[in-house]
Amino acid sequence: MEYILNEVLIPLSYLLASILFIFGLKQLAHPQTARRGMNLAAAGMLVAIVGTLFHHDIISYDLIIIGLIVGSLIGAAMSIWMPMTAMPQRTALSHAFGALAASLVGVAEYWHALHSGQPIAAYKMTALGFEVLFGSLTVTGSLLAFAKLQELMRGTPVTYKGQNILNVSLFALAAFIFIYLVFDPGQTTLFFIMVGLSFLFGILLVLPIGAADMPVVMSLMNSYAGLAAAATGFAINNKVLIIAGTLDGFSGFILSILMCKAMNRSITNVLFGAFGSPVDDTAVVVQGEMKEIGAEDVAMQLAYARQVVFVPGYGLATAQAQHVVRELGEALEHRGVQVKYAIHPVAGRMPGHMNVLLAEANVPYSDLYELEQINPEMPATDVAVVIGANDVVNPDARDNPKSPIAGMPIIEVDKCHTVIVLKRGRGKGFSGLENPLFYKNNTRMLYGDAKASLTKLAQEVQHA
Ligand code: NAP
């Protein structure tokens, strides 16, 4: 019976879990199938956990039960009480928890191997080294990303003289200790110094990254957490961890590259933590004044337009205005107006944030246009409605080489005939920069919470 359990049933459960992860990931690639993909992956995780609970190495279930209860309570509380707008912070916390688990397993496994009376094989020490290196730096890096996203600290990059030299030296020292340990694993003090250095490196890695570059941090931490899990799999010879960790690690890495492309940054800059400069507001020269407009006037312009482009941003998420923007869009379409949604890859606070919100409101996927698709249409667009977006429509990124976000591609709403900006007041975007768009001659400001403004617009359009 024990043979069947260990050699057949547990490996089968891992195989099934891996298949579910792979199909889940595939389905996550499209908004229409993403929900099913998520459920498949969650089912895979359940199968993997149940399989592991039968593992012959388990001698007592007491601590496992306590862990399950505590973990489930924390997970349920985060899902129930953290608002959708805090999803990026929640994701950062999940990365930190996952990486902490990998680091703890790494330290425990090292300790166990050290006292087993057998020498630690070089391959095992290599896996353990990767595990604690990636795991520990992801814990502190993700916690710092959480603090920045939660605005517990300044979200802009923190830079100081000699930062890169310090970072690279610290990383080199940790890497040197790691290599030394592969040849001489018994140096316990060095092992814990390496763990400490990795914790410190995580903080130093994320400190200089901030403002508009935060999406890259998020996807990078995702990738590191996955790689730490994969290394755990090698260290404890667990195949489902190797497969799931590698899928997570490399999909996170591919996402990092895509985010870099979206931000017009090179991945080498990101990997060496050398990008991100302090916000220099003096580089932003704004001329003119912000001109306010009423909902009735906006509704008239929308109702008689030929083409309207909605540009959602983080404010759409905070206002939870995704359903009402779809209602307004439908009202306009009934009047024969061509309605399109322009999606910037880093709009909101996490990759795909806008796609998720609009899919939740059943906005047809065919109405969503990526930056490269929509920008050529801007000069022929009558009205662009910017809904709680700021950085992603900041023309300084294109026009002002001194701007901290210079080179970041934007949705060029300023090229439209008229731009209507829906925001509550003079609040800045995540980068903390002034936005010259709001002062342009063809821009009008409709102040108020995005949901309230859109509701009013939808009503007015019905009567126009
Ligand atoms: P943004 O630049 O952060 O601007 C959001 C704007 O929404 C603010 O200016 C705010 O102005 C307005 N707003 C907030 N709540 C509102 C409400 N209830 N109703 C109406 N307006 C509201 O947003 P974005 O243009 O989407 O740009 C995203 C930024 O976040 C980029 O800098 C990006 O790099 C960064 N980021 C992105 C990710 C990602 O993965 N997507 C992750 C981390 C960081 P008021 O206060 O005046 O209303």
The protein residue with its alpha carbon nearest to ligand 1, atom 32, reads 212
Q: Is 208 in the pocket of ligand 1 (CB under 6 A)?
A: no
Q: Which carries the bigger pLDDT value, residue 189 or residue 353? A: 189
**pLDDT value of residue 276:** 43
**pLDDT value of residue 275:** 43
Q: Which carries the bigger pLDDT value, residue 291 or residue 215? A: 291
Q: Is 349 in the pocket of ligand 1 (CB under 6 A)?
A: yes
The pick from 390, 422, 449 for probing ligand 1's pocket by mutation, whose C-beta has the most ligand atoms within 8 angstroms, reads 390
Q: Is 85 in the pocket of ligand 1 (CB under 6 A)?
A: no
Rounded mean pLDDT, 289-293: 94
Q: DSSP string of 385-418?
A: EEES--GGG-THHHH-TTSTTTT-----GGGSSE
Whole-number mean pLDDT of the chain?
90
Q: Is 276 in the pocket of ligand 1 (CB under 6 A)?
A: no
Q: Is 212 in the pocket of ligand 1 (CB under 6 A)?
A: yes
pLDDT at 334 exceeding the cut of 90? yes
The protein residue with its alpha carbon nearest to ligand 1, atom 22, reads 315
Compute, in angstroms, the gap from residue 27 CA to the centroid of ligand 1.
28
CA gap 305, 382 in Å, rounded: 6
Query: How open is the CA angle 290-293-295, to the nearest 5 degrees?
Result: 145
Set out the domains of the chain in order of their start, with CATH numbers.
82-271 (no CATH), 295-462 (3.40.50.1220)
Rounded mean pLDDT, 277-300: 76
Q: Is 403 in the pocket of ligand 1 (CB under 6 A)?
A: no
Compute, in angstroms, the gap from residue 333 CA to the centroid of ligand 1.
27
pLDDT > 90: percent of the chain = 70
Within 83-187, residue ranges assigned H as helices are 87-114, 122-149, 163-183
The pick from 144, 391, 393 for probing ligand 1's pocket by mutation, whose C-beta has the most ligand atoms within 8 angstroms, reads 391
CA gap 93, 100 in Å, rounded: 10
**pLDDT value of residue 284:** 59
**pLDDT value of residue 350:** 81
Contact at 8 Å (CB) between 346 and 392? yes
Catalytic residue among 213, 248, 391, 414: 391
Compute, in angstroms, the gap from residue 112 CA to the centroid of ligand 1.
48
pLDDT at 391 exceeding the cut of 60? yes
Taking only the tens place, the pLDDT of each residue in 275-285 is 444 445 555 56
DSSP β-bridge partners for residue 443: 419
Q: Which carries the bigger pLDDT value, residue 81 or residue 285? A: 81
CA gap 393, 360 in Å, rounded: 24
Q: Which carries the bigger pLDDT value, residue 295 or residue 82? A: 295
Taking only the tens place, the pLDDT of each residue in 347-380 is 998 878 899 899 889 999 899 999 999 999 999 9
Q: Is 143 in the pocket of ligand 1 (CB under 6 A)?
A: no
pLDDT at 8 exceeding the cut of 60? yes
Taking only the tens place, the pLDDT of each residue in 38-57 is 999 999 999 999 999 988 88
Compute, in angstroms, the gap from residue 460 CA to the centroid of ligand 1.
26
Rounded mean pLDDT, 122-142: 95
Question: Would you call 391 a catalytic residue per the annotation?
Answer: yes
Taking only the tens place, the pLDDT of each residue in 201-253 is 999 988 888 766 778 888 889 999 999 999 999 999 999 999 999 999 999 99
The pick from 279, 423, 437 for probing ligand 1's pocket by mutation, whose C-beta has the most ligand atoms within 8 angstroms, reads 423
The protein residue with its alpha carbon nearest to ligand 1, atom 36, reads 349
Compute, in angstroms, the gap from residue 316 CA to the centroid of ligand 1.
8
The protein residue with its alpha carbon nearest to ligand 1, atom 39, reads 350
Range 438-443, long-range pairs (CB < 8 A, 24+ positions): 438/290, 439/286, 439/287, 439/288, 439/289, 439/290, 440/288, 440/395, 440/414, 441/288, 442/414, 442/416, 442/417, 442/418, 443/290, 443/291, 443/414, 443/418, 443/419
Q: Is 319 in the pocket of ligand 1 (CB under 6 A)?
A: yes
